[in-house]
Amino acid sequence: MIARIWVYLSASPLLWLTATLAAYEAGAWIFGRLGRRPLLNPVLIAVGMLIAVLAATGTPYETYFDGAQFVHFLLGPATVALAVPLFDNRAHVRAALLPMLAALCAGSLTAIACAVGVAWLLGVRGETLASMAPKSVTAPIAMAISEQIGGLPSLTAAFVIATGICGAVIATPLLNLLRLRDYRARGFAAGLAAHGLGTARAFEVHEMAGTFAGIALALNGLATSLLVPALARLMR
Amino acid sequence: MITALTMLLSCQLAGELIARLFGLPVPGPVLGMLLLFALLLARPRSEALVRDTTATLLRYLSLLFVPAGVGLIRHFGRIRAELAAITVAIVISTAATIAVSALVFAAVARALEKRTR
């Protein structure tokens, strides 16, 4: 009986959609309960729990995604929605064009050089190394760049997500350590280094930070798609 | 809410079409964001139509990354041997990128403020 119910449930989108929302709620609850420590990022907790459940029940990712795709789909309209805070804060944005451009050049180069350089020093080579180069930018751009320079797009997507979670976890403590109080600088850095996940984290902290994170996400997508192929040609 | 979703999806759809028609390396939703921004500049009053829905979407933005995050499960096998190296590279490069961009932004902003004073 239970086996039959499981056969029905595990193949229906309902179960994994519910599980995705429930895992996130649980993550948010733990995050709030244990004093909002950055390491207890709700996304990190939810992803960890869901991976454990999928592994324990032997459920393939494709089955999971049949349900979770409804949540995933909203990423597109949510990206479009970033236009609204950008519009609200357009005066602040116009006033900060020069700092943004300077931070974009420095940050974009640091992201590429540091990821590839450290991985290379630690013995990573070939396709895996190429897949690392565009990992700071939003997944669709990163995957296209990866393909162009001989990486594996799906592996790049995994690095992109890992980078996003890492950035969302370390941004607040790291920026506090640097004693930076300017929310524009803090948000811009989070969005540049950790794309949408950094932007989501920035919006949780401050609307101004979120706005600048959204701009950095878009600008670094453009900068990296120009820089990485050019650098790859130089290396060859 | 339906008006807002229709506007968001229309901008995204238009973005996807433009990206494909002209073979641009920019994702459709990012172009859609620029289109909506242009629309708001042209007709500031239309902001009231989308405001509530976009605020809700952005409040739960991090939830939307959970399905893709679970996708990490598919890659553990391939990179098992290099997992430690890759983890170290991701943590160091992410920290360095955040620090460099934030410090450069703040330094240039401060220099500009001093000059205008």
pLDDT score at A206: 94
Residue A117 has pLDDT above 90, yes or no: yes
Residue A161's pLDDT band (boundaries 50, 70, 90)? very high
Q: Which residue has the higher pLDDT, B29 or B42?
A: B42
Which residues in chain B have their CB less than 8 angstroms from residue A225's CB?
A: 25-26
Instruction: Pull the structure tokens for residue A107.
Output: 């940050």
Note which residues in 22-61 of chain B have CB less than 8 A from chain A.
25-30, 32-37, 40-41, 44, 47, 50-51, 53-55, 57-59, 61
- The residues near B42 (Cβ < 8 Å, ≥ 6 apart) are none
Instruction: Pull the structure tokens for residue B84.
Output: 């430690």
Residue B27 CA to residue A78 CA, distance in Å, equals: 13
ipTM of the predicted structure?
A: 0.91
Q: Which residue has the higher pLDDT, B117 or A182?
A: A182
Residue A222 has pLDDT above 90, yes or no: no
pLDDT score at A195: 94
Q: Where are the domains of chain A?
A: 1-74, 91-236
Please name the member of A74, A157, A167 whose beta carbon is closest to the beta carbon of B64.
A74
Query: Could you tell me the CA-to-CA distances from A66 to A48, A51, A59, A77 in Å, in that order?
Result: 19, 15, 12, 19
pLDDT score at B75: 87
pLDDT score at A15: 94
pLDDT score at B42: 97
Please name the member of A20, A166, A185 whose beta carbon is closest to the beta carbon of B90.
A166
pLDDT score at A233: 85
Which residues in chain B have their CB less than 8 angstroms from residue A76's CB?
A: 9, 12, 28-29, 32
For residue range B75-98, what is the model confidence (pLDDT) as tens digits?
Answer: 888 788 899 999 999 999 999 999
Residue A1 has pLDDT above 90, yes or no: no
Query: Could you tell me the CA-to-CA distances from A112 to B72, B89, B98, B103 in Å, in that order?
Result: 21, 11, 13, 18
Instruction: Say yes or no for a CB contact (<8 Å) between A197 and B47.
Output: no
Query: Could you tell me the CA-to-CA distances from A117 to A174, A232, B92 in Å, in that order?
Result: 21, 13, 10
For residue range A21-75, what is the model confidence (pLDDT) as tens digits?
Answer: 999 999 999 998 988 887 888 999 999 999 999 999 999 999 999 999 999 999 8
Among A11-15, A187-191, B8-12, whose mean pLDDT is lowest?
Answer: A11-15
Residue A146 has pLDDT above 80, yes or no: yes
> What is the reported pTM?
0.89
Please name the member of A141, A161, A186 whose beta carbon is closest to the beta carbon of B71.
A161
